[in-house]
A = this chain, B = another copy of it.
């Protein structure tokens, strides 16, 4: 009776916002609830990357065929490589009742929302830009130029944040993971997601009214 259909979620956020960590925690804590979408790419696998886990690694020709056959939810080109979200895997997971998370940037997010208006768009941010800068510096792995370039990219990324549904402040990681989890799970309580239940209750009440 309570047939659960999965929800499509896009999570975006600044590099340094901690969104990757949040996704991993969600998948680890609720493996039966969430699935992470796996992107297709034409770039070469790096050491340790596995086809079908980090990415689906495909050739340029294969990718362009996927575009032509409309097998991608969205795609983009960075430098000389394609990146995209294959429909098939996402819809398989949604049908199984999984809530499927896409970790993509704003341009992709808006394309997804256009085609699938029920997509939930979340933007993860540190409590302030200063904190973002501190975290980027604190990593110790990036030189000054890289930090500057990431901050300038953050400036670009924040431009479309008004189009998102929720802004999640990542101050305390644990709290943030639970916040993201509850935002997504509450989406299942939306009236628009409960037509079957509503129609059932209506029919039952009608039956009572007719003296069943």
Contacts and interface: CB of A to CB of B under 8 A. Distances in A.
A208 B166 contact: no
Contact of A189 (B129, B168, B207, B209): B168
A164 interface: yes
Main secondary structure of the interface of A (DSSP, over half): helix
Nearest to A121: B191
A158 interface: yes
A129 B186 contact: no
Contacts of A208: 129, 133, 148, 151-152, 155
B165 A204 contact: no
Contact of A125 (B128, B129, B133, B201): B201
A96 interface: no
Contact of A162 (B182, B198, B204): B198
A168 B130 CA distance: 39
A206 B151 CA distance: 9
A90 to B, nearest CB: 24
A191 B209 contact: no
A81 interface: no
A133 B179 CA distance: 36
Interface string A170-193: 000000000100110010011100
B167 A200 contact: no
Give 6 closest A-B pairs by Cβ, nearest first.
A129-B204, A155-B205, A167-B194, A182-B182, A151-B208, A129-B205
21 contacts: A125-B201, A128-B200, A129-B200, A129-B201, A133-B208, A151-B209, A155-B202, A155-B205, A158-B205, A161-B191, A161-B198, A165-B190, A166-B186, A166-B191, A167-B194, A167-B198, A169-B189, A179-B186, A179-B189, A182-B182, A186-B186
